[in-house]
Amino acid sequence: MKKQNDSENIILIIEDDFDLMWMIHKLLSTSGFQVLTAVTASQAIEVFSRYIFQISAVILDLSLPDKDGEEVAAEFLKVVPDIPIIITTGSEDHAQRARLERMGVAAYLIKPFDLTELVQTIERLIQHV
């Protein structure tokens, strides 16, 4: 995993809402991050597999068109147990949140979330990897 002081921190955004993905992409790019994107779970798995040792953190929407985000998180954590995964969701499910935290998910943000909070969360998580 890359550390925050490395020249390139690559963030994978998995989000099927194009407007939200674009806003996050723009914010992270202007904050100095390299950004990869996927709109489906299958795309996400392909991108993750290709860049597995370069990705510093993952932003993962729970509601994807082809697979549940929880399943995607489990697959990623099985391969790279210390990858920081930030879950984003439109509704809070306390049981699901607890399950994801036990699984190893690093953060859980409810939409609409503050974009500044997202950047701060990423920076904090990358420092601890």
Whole-number pLDDT of residue 90: 92
Instruction: Establish how many alpha carbons lie within 13 A of residue 4's alpha carbon, considering only the half-sphere containing its beta carbon.
Output: 13
Interatomic CA distance for residues 27 and 66, integer angstroms = 26
pTM, whole model, 2 decimals?
A: 0.92
Whole-number pLDDT of residue 128: 72
The three-class DSSP label of residue 69 is: helix
* Domain spanning 14-94+108-127: CATH 3.40.50.1440: no
Whole-number pLDDT of residue 6: 46
Whole-number pLDDT of residue 8: 82
Q: Going by C-beta distance under 8 Å and a sequence separation of 6 or more, which residues neighbour residue 7? A: none
First to last CA, the chain: 7
Segments making up each domain of the chain, as ranges: 14-94+108-127
